[in-house]
Chain A
């Protein structure tokens, strides 16, 4: 007896656990007959999940929270029992902006405070010369890409709503837009940063792990009512994904995982480029400079797959900081309830882990994140557009 499920995904490297769970038979071993449906936009994934055309979905973590809060769309409570990817984004800038930042930089070019301060000087010079504001591309209003860009530039004194333009661009249009000068930089997930570097039109300025030590980007999302009606199926789904994440994280499986993910009906790009992403070994400059990071794209290692409500609280705080919603204790509670470590633990039969470090976010600027005092936390940042 197998349970048929339809799951929507966007062709990105952090759909890895979803794809491997199906294509390596881990889902079938749990009695699930999963059909993966490739989608072209986050709006489509969200809408099809919300109205029941999908049972589960690869979703931007902030979209799961926004949906539960009724922001930007109809209100549909979502639960996320499994993280699909941590730290897979990167910030890529055009060669011209890269040169401008490097000519202004004081200190380490991998230090986000140094680059953010350099960016603020570039912005000031452009304003003095009457140049157009710089334009930054990101993938969705409720996205970690949006918040990571904003967090970084604001730390250096650049107001993302006043000093530059932030625009939404579908990932497949990102590289073209950088090449033809419609944007000067973007923040996007793999493999698009690598594609820009390979084409010689961009430099990877930062892995987002430079900005936040640990930032969940995508989750496995289901409707709350569905999760309540189908607890066994959900647990089976979590187990299948846990096995898939374990498989992907084993170095000896990386070549096979990259091949599975690269298939035309899955992510549909060169397995070699996906391999670099899984290895955390990326070419960051058209001249061939390689940068390695053990913190790039965590799929399952270091407990990455287990949802952490503090991460949800941080994302909610960003929505408040940038004026997407107002601050309220009820909304914070709703946001935190989207991330469900209890469902993860129940599915895997594990005890909840011991308390982790005080700051689960690890941002390079500002005070350690405090989910119990979001207003106080946000007040410590000079730039922000929220009302108490």
Chain B
């Protein structure tokens, strides 16, 4: 590998969205040789054939242990591989583990070239976590709405209320009991299930 050419980067991630976010960030930053592997089958053989300079892997991927084997089978790879840059990089390891990404970096890539790459990955992983959190919240809000709608239906039927009256009843009960409307609605569904 020419020291100044763009390093070959492999992203190992089963989440296509996160991988896309990372890939886009890397390309914008001028790293052109990026490949994404989402299929874990025969991972090591695929990595050997791609011969990357840097491997980025999602921390929640059990195949991280498979990559550790690359340290041990140096006869099978052309170059030895080291995780991170050197012993003194505990801060980088901490930051990347916090973000949920792990980087395996092939020896010979200069430290000053790795740092921005790693920083970029960490910020992209954090961005993804934020996005994921928002998605989860939106999803649970949607779930809540479904539950509330069903609870309203039950109240309307049982107590002969209008939709608005049913909602007001749910809301005032929630306020009185210091709970979320979704929780009150859920308990109505549970109770009506049990009383069936």
A115 to chain B, nearest CB (A): 25
Q: Which residues of B contact A41 (CB under 8 A)?
A: 61-65
A5 to chain B, nearest CB (A): 18
Choose from A139, A182, A324 the contact partner of B65 (Cβ within 8 Å). A139
Q: Which residues of B contact A48 (CB under 8 A)?
A: 97
Contacts between the two chains (Cβ within 8 Å), count:
72
Q: State in angstroms the CA–CA spacing of A73 and B42 once bound together.
A: 23
Asked whether B5 is an interface residue with its Cβ less than 8 Å from the other chain, the reply is: no
Q: Which residues of B contact A75 (CB under 8 A)?
A: 87
A304 to chain B, nearest CB (A): 26
Q: State in angstroms the CA–CA spacing of A182 and B42 once bound together.
A: 9
Asked whether B68 lies within 8 Å of A140 as measured between CB atoms, the reply is yes
Specify the chain A residue showing the minimal Cβ separation from B42.
A182
Asked whether A100 is an interface residue with its Cβ less than 8 Å from the other chain, the reply is: no
A141-B71 in contact given A74-B84, A173-B40 (Cβ < 8 Å): yes
Asked whether A107 is an interface residue with its Cβ less than 8 Å from the other chain, the reply is: no
B106 to chain A, nearest CB (A): 15
Asked whether A250 is an interface residue with its Cβ less than 8 Å from the other chain, the reply is: no
Asked whether A170 lies within 8 Å of B87 as measured between CB atoms, the reply is no
Asked whether A167 lies within 8 Å of B44 as measured between CB atoms, the reply is yes
Asked whether A303 is an interface residue with its Cβ less than 8 Å from the other chain, the reply is: no
Asked whether B94 lies within 8 Å of A51 as measured between CB atoms, the reply is yes
Q: A40-B61, A40-B62, A168-B44 are in contact. List 14 more A-B contacts (CB 8 A).
A: A41-B63, A44-B64, A44-B97, A47-B97, A48-B97, A51-B97, A72-B71, A74-B83, A74-B90, A139-B65, A161-B75, A167-B44, A170-B63, A173-B62
Q: Which residues of A contact B (CB under 8 A)?
A: 40-44, 47-48, 50-53, 70, 72-75, 139-141, 161, 167-173, 182, 324
Q: Which residues of B contact A (CB under 8 A)?
A: 40-42, 44, 59-69, 71-72, 75, 83-84, 87, 89-90, 93-94, 97, 102
